[in-house]
Amino acid sequence: MGTGYTVEELQDLRNKLRPQWKKFDPKAKPAYFSSWNPSTADNPDCYIDNPSESVVFEVKAAEIIQSTVFSSDYTLRFPR
């Protein structure tokens, strides 16, 4: 989600997570990515090295729909 934050909230979040960011290498994915094989266009720039040091967001949406665009095969419609 890219909206709904104040500039200060977003900066605080970035500062908290920055020590956990690792550059993504599709040839050396972390074990917890298991069988996720994103297309080149979906490769992340970085990932959180230790998920237990991350944060969890709750995203509300009108519905979850099937999608052929995303590797999860689903997307949120009208996130709030």
Q: What is the CATH number of the domain that holds 44?
A: 2.40.50.140
Count of structural domains, the chain: 1
Q: Flag whether pLDDT at 11 surpasses 90.
A: yes
The answer as to whether 61 is a domain residue is yes
Q: Determine the Cα–Cα distance for residues 50 and 30; give it in Å rounded to an integer.
A: 10
The answer as to whether 1 is a domain residue is no
Query: What would the pLDDT profile of 16-71 be if each residue is shown by its tens digit?
Result: 999 999 998 888 888 888 777 777 777 888 988 888 888 888 888 999 999 888 77
Residue tagged 């729909």 (tokens): 65
- Quick one: pLDDT at residue 1? 65
Q: Determine the Cα–Cα distance for residues 14 and 3; give it in Å rounded to an integer.
A: 14
- Helical ranges in the chain per DSSP H: 7-17
The answer as to whether 21 is a domain residue is yes
The answer as to whether 57 is a domain residue is yes
- Quick one: pLDDT at residue 63? 94
Residue tagged 């944060």 (tokens): 55
Q: Determine the Cα–Cα distance for residues 73 and 64; give it in Å rounded to an integer.
A: 10
The answer as to whether 42 is a domain residue is yes
The answer as to whether 2 is a domain residue is no
pTM of the complete model:
0.60
* Domain extent for 28: 7-79
